[in-house]
């Protein structure tokens, strides 16, 4: 059973919108791509986005990794737009859109941890991620200031990567010399490894309970979709490896793949793959997607990682 504590601290580190905060990358149009850079950070990655447009991720400053949430600064929990069934909210308040012109970064740090990373966020603004303390990695959940450690019993390390509106959490744990995917529902852990795989990880879960992740077999990384108890492999055509990273309630999946040209993001929608690349970047990852089809991830230019928002 997860352990509950009250050790999570947060602090606002960004004030009003800086000119470079959500600027378009070189060669991109501002309506399609927006860079997410935490002031003073040397590395930024955006890993999840909810229906309100709140973004979760991690950044590195002075050699230390922190989690972050990028919001409109109101941080009210977002409960009003989510149904009791955990479905994603549909309502978009024009006044909220106006407020989002001055977004705020909030740092998420587990006190005493040497590393904290935000990984997933749902429409109620419940957050999951992982942190390292005394050399051991743990998962965590945070909701309205209440912090909960997520540790799979008997595991050497645990990470929490995705959460849906019902509070179901997915992630991975390390035990027996391999990574294993898990689902945490009603305080019960269930291993959801792909059959005959060498390792498995789960990164996202939608309102229906469908899960996206990746697995390794015969030394090759593949993505997977677990739906209604059935595993379906996800392989970008011509890729040497593919990883599933995010999905929304419309069944759209995002992730990353590697081919002779490098590492790229992808979108799988209505059975068709589309490649996602930031112009001029040496690497692009697509890591999260919300119901509106807004995608977040990261890209690398001149060796520096930036967060990115793709507004379709």
> Domain of 75: which CATH number?
2.120.10.30
Instruction: Report whether 123 contacts 165 (CB < 8 A).
Output: yes
Check: CB of residue 202 under 8 Å from CB of residue 172: yes
Instruction: Count other Cβ atoms within 10 Å, centred on residue 41.
Output: 22
Which helix or strand (DSSP H or E) is residue 185 part of? strand 178-185
In a domain, 47, yes or no: yes
Torsion sign, CA atoms 220, 221, 225, 228: positive
End-to-end CA distance of the chain: 40
Range of the domain at 176: 7-310
Distance between CA 283 and CA 114 in Å, rounded? 27
CA angle 199, 299, 242 (to 5 degrees): 30
Residue 121 covered by a domain? yes
Examine residue 1 and state whether it is found in any structural domain, yes or no. no
- Residue 265, in any domain of the structure: yes
Query: Would you say 204 and 170 are in contact if contact means Cβ atoms under 8 Å apart?
Result: yes
Question: Which residues fall within 8 angstroms of residue 189, CB to CB, at 6 or more apart?
Answer: 152, 153, 182, 183
Classify residue 116: in a domain, yes or no.
yes
What distance in Å separates the CA atoms of residue 162 and residue 178, rounded to the nearest whole number? 20
Q: What is the pTM of this model?
A: 0.87
Q: How many domains does the chain have?
A: 1
Task: List the Cα angle 225/227/233 in 5-degree steps.
Answer: 30
pLDDT (tens digit, 0 to 9) for every residue of the chain, 312 residues total? 444 333 344 443 332 222 234 444 554 433 489 999 998 999 999 999 999 999 999 999 999 999 999 986 554 445 444 443 444 444 444 444 444 446 688 999 988 899 999 999 999 989 999 999 999 999 999 987 778 999 999 999 999 999 999 999 999 999 999 999 999 999 999 999 999 999 999 999 999 999 999 999 999 999 999 999 999 999 999 999 999 999 999 999 999 999 999 999 999 999 999 999 999 999 999 999 999 999 999 999 999 999 999 987
Looking at the domain assignment, is residue 2 inside a domain?
no
Asked if the structure places residue 181 within a domain, the reply is yes
Identify the pLDDT of residue 90: 46
Residue 23 lies in a domain: yes
The span from the CA of 199 to the CA of 126, in Å, is 27
Q: What is the pLDDT of residue 236?
A: 98
């Amino acid at each position: 059973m997860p352990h509950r504590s009250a050790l999570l601290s947060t602090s606002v580190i960004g004030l009003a919108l800086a000119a470079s905060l959500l600027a378009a990358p070189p060669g991109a149009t501002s309506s399609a791509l927006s860079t997410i850079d935490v002031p003073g950070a040397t590395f930024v990655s955006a890993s999840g986005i909810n229906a309100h447009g709140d973004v979760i991720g991690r950044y590195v400053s002075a050699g230390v990794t922190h989690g972050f949430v990028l919001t409109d600064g109101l941080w009210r929990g977002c409960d009003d737009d989510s149904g009791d069934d955990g479905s994603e909210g549909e309502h978009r308040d024009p006044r909220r859109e106006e407020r989002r012109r001055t977004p705020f970064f909030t740092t998420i740090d587990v006190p005493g941890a040497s590393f904290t990373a935000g990984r997933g966020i749902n429409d109620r603004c419940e957050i999951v991620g992982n942190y390292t303390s005394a050399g051991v990695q743990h998962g965590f959940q945070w909701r309205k200031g209440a912090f909960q450690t997520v540790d799979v019993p008997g595991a050497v390390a645990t990470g929490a990567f995705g959460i849906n509106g019902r509070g179901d959490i997915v992630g991975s744990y390390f035990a027996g010399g391999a990574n294993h995917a898990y689902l945490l529902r009603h305080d019960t852990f269930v291993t959801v490894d792909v059959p005959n795989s060498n390792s498995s990880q789960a990164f996202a879960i939608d309102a229906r309970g469908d899960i996206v992740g990746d697995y390794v077999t015969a030394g090759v990384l593949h993505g997977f979709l677990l739906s209604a108890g059935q595993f379906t492999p996800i392989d970008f055509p011509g890729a040497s490896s593919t990883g599933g990273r995010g999905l929304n309630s419309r069944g759209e999946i995002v992730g990353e793949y590697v081919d002779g040209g490098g590492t790229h993001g992808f979108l799988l929608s209505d059975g068709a793959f589309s490649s996602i690349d930031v112009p001029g970047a040496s690497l692009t990852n697509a890591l999260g997607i919300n119901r509106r089809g807004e995608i977040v991830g990261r890209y690398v230019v001149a060796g520096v990682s930036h967060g990115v928002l793709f507004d379709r």
